[in-house]
Structures are given as structure tokens and as C-alpha cells.
A and B are shown apart, each in its own frame.
Chain A
Amino acid sequence: AQTVTQSQPEMSVQEAETVTLSCTYDTSESNYYLFWYKQPPSRQMILVIRQEAYKQQNATENRFSVNFQKAAKSFSLKISDSQLGDTAMYFCAFIRYNNNDMRFGAGTRLTVKP
């Protein structure tokens, strides 16, 4: 079974600063996908960024980037130039290649302070 661990229940950052959220996972698979989802108080899960395990290059989406360390089974999310609208729960998620069973970590509540 695959497990996803987020060890930071809560984090805060000042507006315009940079913050990194941690995620580790455990799997025996070699092909899989990793995602970061954001869930603001409006409760809709929003895809932030995705990473394909067979690609060594770290994914980047505007202010969001990941540090994917496959050997260490680590997948951290860096948010640059934090904005008030980034305040939300952030979930790390894992899914095996060619499967339909996305699993989530426990989440990190991020607060961006003005």
C-alpha cells in the first residue's frame, strides 16, 4: 500500500516571502504521479502542480515549484512571493501509473500573513 506523509500540520508565512511544504511517500512502484492540491475555505480542491516520476526535471507553475527527490521519496512544494490568496489547506497526493486510486496526505494548513 502507498502512504503519503505531510509532517507539518500548520505553517505560516509573511506576504511576499517564500515557504516550503514537505511531503514524503512510500511506494515500491517505479512509475507514478505526484500532485499538490490546494483547498481554500471555499472547499474546492484545486490542482496546483503535478510531477511525473519518470521525469527528473522538477515541475514549475508560475510561483509554485517542486523539489522532487525520487530516491528519497520526497516531494516538497515551494511557494514564492506568497500572496494572501495562497491561504489554504495543501494536500500532497500520490497515484500509481495507470491506476485510479489517488491517495492524499494529512494536509498542511498554510496561513499567509499581511
Chain B
Amino acid sequence: SYVLTQPPSVSVAPGTTANIPCGGNNFGSKSVSWYQQKPGQAPVLVMYFDSDRPSGIPERFSGSISGNTATLTISRVEAGDEADYFCQVWDSTGDLYFFGPGTKLTVL
């Protein structure tokens, strides 16, 4: 099993930067993906391969990895960014998928 950790909540003011961390081991051997989920909706992929954005995702969204922490960064946060954000990794060795518990982003 592979454990990912995320803080339950992050709060930021509009127009500022939100950093949402995801802790795990050996990120170097795995790729991290991120999903945004608004209430009552399905998750939406916002980042893959650690730092690649799908088409249609604003450039304000970026991803990075440093050591044992992957981070989703949202610049110039807008009210519409308020959502739950989940990190996810794929263990290619066991061909298994793991999700973090999610972080609720609140825009103050």
C-alpha cells in the first residue's frame, strides 16, 4: 500500500496564491496527478505527469515536486477555484492507484 497525505483544508484570499501539498514517498519513481472536485460533481483532472496541464485548465494552475512533497499551486485564486483537490499516484510496479484524502480549498 502507498499512503498520500494532504491537509484537510487550505484557505486563501482572492487574488493570492494557494499551495496545496501532497506528501508521499519516492515521488521520483511515480507521476503525480491532481483532480479538482466541486460539490455534487465528478472529479476533473487539472494536472498530470507532476506538472502538465490538460487542455482547458488555466495557466494559473501549476504542479511541482520537491523531495517527498508534491504541490499544486493555484495563482491569482478566484472564487470559482473553491473545491476539493485530490492528489493521485500510479504505482506501475503493482499497477495500483492511490489517492490522497483531499484538501478543501476555501476562498475567503
State whether these chains interact: no
Binding site for A on B (CB under 8 A): none
